[in-house]
Structure 1
Amino acid sequence: MDRRQFPLPALCLLILTIVGLAQNPARAQAPCPADHEKLLAALKANVKASGGPANGGFETNEWAAVVARDGTVCAVAFSGPTVDAQWPGSRLIAAEKANTANGLSLANMALSTANLYAGVQPGGPLFGLQATNPVNQAAAYPGDAKTFGSAQDPLLGKPIGGIVVFGGGLALYDGKTIVGALGVSGDSSCADHNVAWRVRAALGLDKVPAGVNPNRKDAIIYDLDPGGKSASGWGHPLCAGHEADVAAELGSGVGGSTPK
């Protein structure tokens, strides 16, 4: 190489760049189990307000988010006609639910966010869990709101963090292993669980191993007594609508009856 054609400062910069890349290789992101187009179609087909079946709750439009196994957000969508046709705050809640289900599920054991409710109550074995993985605020709030829920959502490619301990988050399984997780938010927590259950099935990522209840995998468990104690230790409170009836029909819930 002729140094007259490649000045020394540029040569030094090239060497430093090569050394830096060797010492700090780019981190490869885990594959996304469902892209925006697939998530959007599955969500719209399973929310009543956008033409899907009833979920038993308020029947409002919903947000959904998917994280890859490394915890990075890789798809975000909403079911309504505009970005504000569903609760704006539910965009981040959906992503945090996905983060929770992914972070606390394994290849051989699925935990839904609904399974965490009883354990985090005062005196429970998981009390304080919500504070263990703070939301990544640098990722959560920047970006143009016009792109929220699109294939260019500013959450994409970033770990969102956060722990949510009520229904709506489910791990995703392709039949071989866990590949990430799904979060749904925008209705009651019980309805969110029902919608997430349907969306996961629509994505073909519901090949779930035994969870805390081997007969029902990571189903929502309605077994809280009047004092708020869960017989199984993994219970979730009943919501005010007919969500428990829908869950029973779907096989996504066990125990309890809808309040009258």
Structure 2
Amino acid sequence: MFNVKQICGAVTGLFLSSSAVWSATCADLEKQGLTYDNMKSTLSSVVSLDNGGLGFPMWLTLVDGSGTICNVTNSLSPSQDVTADIWLGSRNISAQKANAANAFSTGDLALSTANLYTATQPSGSLYGLQASNPIDPTLSYGGSAIKFGAKNDPLKGKRIGGINVFGGGLALYNSAKQKVGAIGVSGDTSCTDHVVAWKVRELLAGGAFAVKNVPAGVSPGNNDAMIQDIVKDNGIGNQASLSGFGHPTCLNNPGPGVNAGSIYGAVQQ
């Protein structure tokens, strides 16, 4: 017969061995190389490249597996002003994108925020998703602007929520193909946001979270690339995505020469 101690031990072991109780934390991600300094230097190096779009400065947010914000940074130089030289509204958008990519990707399927665009339009199968997990304004607008994008950004350690359904948010997977969090990039056109996020993910922590770790996705490459397959429907002006996961093209659309394989069907405009 089992005694109470043995039963309690067995139950405890069952819960500890269950994958349902495992979640990557900000501390875990920092141990894996996702530090503030690594994020800032990687973002700055990528923004200096040709990524299409407008060539604007960018914001980058990292969340852990629970959606808690680990770090927020940007590509501004020390002489630039966070309230004048970058889209200030994109700080919250980058956090929303990170939250959305984390919230709607799993260990089996990665969905970039770009993949959510078509389904969330009126008459789409996910219409209304963008309002399902609203951002918490009491948390997202707090703190001094002097700290925005710094190591002690007021968003750090907070879970502000928010859903964004255009390019710039990507889930992160480790070498075991476990989802460990997500990044969100904002500050330029949505297509360029996606391209910059993709390139940043390829380089972060020495490529430890590159697309090769993505378990599966809806793009033809079986990953979370942006799909630009929205076409005119029957020539009458209605737009339709052939895959159901399409995203519109953007101003100075990042073509094959600059998007690093992050956009399927991309054309240079």
Q: Which structure 2 segments of 5+ residues have no match?
A: 1-22, 233-237
Secondary structure of the structure 2 residue equivalent to 1:115? helix
Matches within 5 A, 1:77-226: 77-81=73-77, 82=80, 83-84=82-83, 85-176=85-176, 177-203=178-204, 204=207, 205-206=209-210, 207-213=213-219, 215-226=221-232
What is the distance in 1 between the residues matched to 2:198 and 2:217? 14
User: How many angstroms does 1:72 deviate by?
Assistant: 0.5
User: How many angstroms does 1:68 deviate by?
Assistant: 0.5
Secondary structure of the structure 1 residue equivalent to 2:245? coil
Is 1:36 paired with 2:36?
Answer: yes
TM-score of the aligned structures, taking structure 2 as reference length: 0.81
Q: Is the 8 A contact 1:216 1:252 kept in 2?
A: no
Change in Cα spacing, 1:216 to 1:252, as seen in structure 2 (3 Å) is farther
Q: Deviations over 1:196-244 (max 9, x none)?
A: 0000011121221111125240000000012321000000000020313
What is the distance in 2 between the residues matched to 1:120 and 1:29? 28
User: How many angstroms does 1:163 deviate by?
Assistant: 0.5
TM-score of the aligned structures, taking structure 1 as reference length: 0.84
What is the distance in 2 between the residues matched to 1:223 and 1:37? 37
Secondary structure of the structure 2 residue equivalent to 1:225? strand
Aligned length, in residue pairs = 227
Secondary structure of the structure 2 residue equivalent to 1:45? helix
What is the distance in 2 between the residues matched to 1:201 and 1:224? 27
Secondary structure of the structure 2 residue equivalent to 1:250? coil
Is 1:251 paired with 2:253?
Answer: no
Q: Is the 8 A contact 2:220 2:264 kept in 1?
A: no
The letter for the 2-side match of 1:200 is R
The percentage of aligned residue pairs carrying the same residue is: 46
Q: Deviations over 1:42-90 (max 9, x none)?
A: 100100xxxx211111011100000010100001101012323211111
User: How many angstroms does 1:246 deviate by?
Assistant: 4.5
The worse-fitting range, judged by mean Cα deviation, of 34-43 and 210-219 is 210-219
Q: Is the 8 A contact 2:219 2:226 kept in 1?
A: no
The letter for the 2-side match of 1:209 is P
Q: Is the 8 A contact 2:24 2:181 kept in 1?
A: no
Q: Deviations over 1:171-195 (max 9, x none)?
A: 0111121110000000000000000
Cα RMSD after superposing both structures:
1.6
The letter for the 2-side match of 1:252 is S
Q: Is the 8 A contact 1:238 1:244 kept in 2?
A: no
